[in-house]
């Protein structure tokens, strides 16, 4: 079955860095784009970054452009989110997500359990 496991969260001071990892299993990782989302307390879950199957194209939320970098290693079935220059407003639970078409062509979203990132002095 499809499984996504995020790791790498933690407590970091403003201006610090963290690298999140998303370990994927149960599907052909290299065939699907991957995305990172985050959800802060009391807020909607929001898209942070996305990456195509080969990593040749990426996109970012305006709030993280120039600070975050999404990447992937298809040989290891891993997706990453490198977060630099972290701000208190980056505090959230971070999730990775993949959408896989089902037998009827309708994509089904799979989410990891999330990893907590807290930016505070």
Q: pLDDT tens digits for 86-118?
A: 999 999 999 999 999 999 999 999 999 999 999
Q: In whole angstroms, what is the distance from residue 115 CA to residue 103 CA? A: 31
pLDDT at 108: 96
pLDDT at 97: 98
In this predicted model, what pLDDT tens digit does every residue of 8-57 receive, in sequence order? 999 999 999 999 999 999 999 999 999 999 999 999 999 999 999 999 99
In this predicted model, what pLDDT tens digit does every residue of 51-86 receive, in sequence order? 999 999 999 999 999 999 999 999 999 999 999 999
Q: In whole angstroms, what is the distance from residue 90 CA to residue 94 CA? A: 10
List residues bridging with 89 in a β-sheet. none
Q: What is the DSSP annotation of 39-77? A: E-TTS--EEEEEE-TTSS-EEE-TTTTTTEEEEEETTTT
Distances from the Cα of 8 to the Cαs of 11, 13, 23, 70, 118, in angstroms?
Answer: 10, 15, 11, 14, 12
Residue/partner pairs of 48-56 with CB below 8 Å, 24 or more apart: 48/81, 48/94, 49/81, 51/79, 54/30
């Amino acid at each position: 079955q499809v499984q996504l496991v995020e790791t790498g969260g933690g407590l970091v001071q403003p201006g610090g860095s963290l690298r999140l990892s998303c370990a994927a299993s149960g599907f052909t990782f290299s065939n699907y784009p991957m995305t990172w989302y985050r959800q802060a307390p009391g807020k909607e879950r929001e898209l942070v970054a996305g990456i195509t199957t080969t990593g040749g194209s990426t996109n970012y939320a305006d709030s993280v452009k120039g600070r975050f970098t999404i990447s992937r290693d298809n040989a290891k079935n891993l997706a990453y989110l490198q977060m630099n220059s972290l701000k208190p407003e980056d505090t959230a639970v971070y999730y990775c997500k993949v959408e896989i078409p089902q037998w009827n062509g309708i994509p089904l979203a799979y989410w990891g359990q999330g990893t907590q990132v807290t930016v505070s002095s």
